Chain A
Amino acid sequence: MVTGAPVEETEYKAMNPTGRAVLKAAEYLPPHELPDQEFPFQLITGRTLYHFHTRTKTGRAPQLNKAAPEVWVEMAAGDAADRGFTEGDLLEVSTPRGRVQGRLRISGIRPGVLFLPFHYGYWDTDSGHEPVKGNGRAANELTLTDWDPVSKQPIFKTAAARVERVASGDGVPAPAPTNTGSAPVGTGVPPTSGGDAARAQELVGGQA
């Protein structure tokens, strides 16, 4: 599992599988980048329900776009309280490779872990392909260029990161959906809803 070297035909035949599957145990492997004094958080990147990949389709659907219009950072309530951060504060998350700015959503995430959605690139920004004045929003700029040698899956869940506050949120909540994983821990955040424009009525055989 460490090397990804294939099992040759003769070796496979020596196991005498006769059509049966061969299950193999894999040892625990520590990540290639672990948190330390300088980068104390584990950074994971991932998805939100409302978008698909880089939002080239979902970003153009008004209700989906409104549900999650901009990048945000998720942090556990305890971690935020330790640092005096509140919902909506503008934070800068950085790793040895890059930095991203986003508003804070205090969610039910595990303590010691930061989450960034990776949907936000630059195609719909003024520059078109790069951060404007160094204010990055693409979470992929922060992750390691590393993959699993067996499956070649990129490793997006084990970067070490640090976080700093750039500006206070002044009561404006993070642009994150209030349901799914990004559900806020505190109250006072207006719930995500489609609004009247999202309502649909279906008539089957002329009857509602």
Chain B
Amino acid sequence: MRYSSVYLLCVPALVLVGLLLAAPLYSTVAQTFGGEVALFGRYGAFFENAFNRDVFFRTLKIALITTVIAAALGYPTAYFISQAGPKWRSLLILCAVLPLLTSSVVRSFSWIVILGRKGSVNTLLMKLHVIDAPLRLLFNEISVVIGLTYLFLPLMILSLVGVMENIEDDLMDAATSLGAPRIKAFFAVIVPLSLPGLVVGAVLVFTGSLTSFTTPQLLGGDGSTVLSTLIFRQAMVLFDWDGAATIATMMVVLTLSVITAINMAARRLNPAA
């Protein structure tokens, strides 16, 4: 194919992304530097406010905890799936994909049914006479972390399975036949080779949690505002467009930095990959 026709076929997609996406984003970033304020003045003002500072660090903390839990739950699960026979493997993948394709509103809502005042957990504990009055389990940071872990665990599992499936069984067999205990062979063979999958999974879960809106909106309360729900409040309730644009810019920078940082760390840990 001639180069000119290749570029020509790319023009519609370039217009869509390069113009229809880039222009509004540029405009949002530009707004935070316009007006009668010092360069980066709006960012300084954001961090001078204690509430905003809390929101910023809470968002990072929630995303980090969610990523760690998703890795702890997902890693053994993905290993199990990759070792299972073809029938079990497709069934287990199917069961991980179903929640992934279900609406995030439904998935967050399910935790309202479980953790709500008349939810399953409270009903069970009252029946067992562990508690007399329903506990307040919703609308705090823990319920947000639970909801986000639920939301993103399938992504972690699928990223890991994709990589683990391609690790040759012979490598494990070689290690064990040469005398390595199975557990040692696992850490010497499977763990380093599955690192790229873990990195992809961690990036997906971390950036997903960092920017997720539905879950903190439904499962979080006033004390667990995060950047995405703050942006919504600034723009749609307070009509503070400068403030919302400032948070939007920070979220873009934060997302890009996280992706770059995790990828760089992964390259240093495993130069082969």
Question: A and B, one complex?
Answer: no
